[in-house]
Chains A and B, each alone.
Chain A
């Protein structure tokens, strides 16, 4: 499958997912940009949804630069950044109402609270929460607490008719992480179909 078809394929599969679905999106690291395009551009635009993007991998400003380079609209993307504070990379000058920081990716309750806060602020009928990524959260948290976090977060979002998309990187995943994600998700999408 060509990289360009990856975004379209993700869009097609997400469009088939029932409302308030939790979707596991396992990608090859090479497909990261196409995943962003498929989720944030094609799917979110089609749904006219606000996106709450939880990043524990790279900082919100780095993702914003990528989205701008890809010509993806960012006005409906709100960030919960779990990494900038910890890496001392965030300055108040860079912050705006679209971004909220969590001090550390180990403060998973605060991630839930920031997501809740942004959901309350959003006036969009459809909302999508993206977790980027379960692998980077697993660097900082043990599987027990991470599993508990996912269960509570996804159950709460499902009850409020919010889509959840959990990103994982195939090259960095473990059977334990895959099991953890599959337990809370209704549907799985894989981008690494080159060998298939």
Chain B
């Protein structure tokens, strides 16, 4: 692992290949957009990031937006390193955002600016209360659907990112995008505000569909910009270099 003097403190993801790509991990307190189309492994990678953190003693929080967290856990790969005790001890906490909406009285389809502030404050408060060091919101796109305008989305992500950075929480915001998208996020705003962008994709090569991962940007560290092929296994996410001889050039 390469470490250079003056480097920011790292939040090692625990995913060997990914930490190598990032020269040691995500710079601590960064807010990273993990973006990709469906079936590319975003939720699995994000969850593994949290499990490794919890195993290292860092309080980790998963905020589920689209899917009931119990259902999500039932469908996730049974990781060999996962321990039920992480949940029982509170090291790994799952919260369903729809429940938070309900408790905050946010029942309308679109949030007002005041409600955005309230939501950010509620998430920040939860992070402080739980002393959360790692956070995943899956997905930020679903939250953005309730914000409607790019101004509100920008406001929400900027405020959330600042609140999380202030408490030293390293965050992954899972973002959904269509396979044909020309930007890295559904609304085109999220990517500009994040400290890092990790793109996950399905790449077709001669009829084979490969899952790929590429770090597009990551503030505070050098990183590889190459494309890697990944596999989701009970040992976690594994990465291998994409063989150039077979590249379609896309």
Contact = CB atoms under 8 A, between A and B. Distances in A.
B177 interface: no
A116 B240 contact: yes
Would you call the interface of chain B mostly helix, strand, loop, or mixed? strand
A125 B93 CA distance: 37
A36 interface: no
A114 B238 CA distance: 9
A108 B247 CA distance: 12
B246 A145 contact: yes
B231 A148 contact: no
Contacts of B9: none
B231 A110 contact: yes
B40 to A, nearest CB: 15
Contacts of B206: 106
Nearest to B233: A117
Interface in A116-153: 116-117, 120-121, 141-142, 144-149, 152
Contacts of B240: 109-110, 112-113, 116, 152
Would you call the interface of chain A mostly helix, strand, loop, or mixed? helix
B163 interface: no
A107 interface: yes
Interface in B192-250: 205-208, 210, 229-231, 233, 235, 238-246
Given A113-B240, A117-B233, A120-B235, 20 more contacts: A103-B208, A104-B207, A106-B205, A107-B208, A107-B210, A108-B243, A110-B231, A112-B240, A113-B229, A113-B239, A114-B231, A116-B240, A141-B246, A142-B245, A145-B246, A148-B243, A148-B244, A148-B245, A152-B240, A152-B243
B138 to A, nearest CB: 24
Contacts of B231: 110, 113-114, 117
Contact of B243 (A103, A114, A120, A149): A149
Nearest to B228: A109
Contacts of A109: 210, 229, 240-243
**A109, A113, A120, A147: most-surrounded residue (chain B CB, <10 A):** A109
Contacts of A120: 235
Given A109-B229, A113-B229, A117-B238, A104 B208 contact: yes
Contacts of A110: 210, 229, 231, 240
Interface residues of A, number: 23
Interface of B: 205-208, 210, 229-231, 233, 235, 238-246
Contacts of A142: 245
13 contacts: A108-B246, A109-B229, A113-B229, A113-B230, A113-B233, A113-B238, A113-B239, A117-B233, A117-B235, A121-B235, A146-B245, A147-B245, A152-B243
A103 B204 CA distance: 13
Contacts of A145: 243, 245-246
A116 B210 CA distance: 17
A4 to B, nearest CB: 40
Nearest to B206: A106
Contacts of B230: 113
B230 to A, nearest CB: 8
**B210, B230, B231: most-surrounded residue (chain A CB, <10 A):** B231
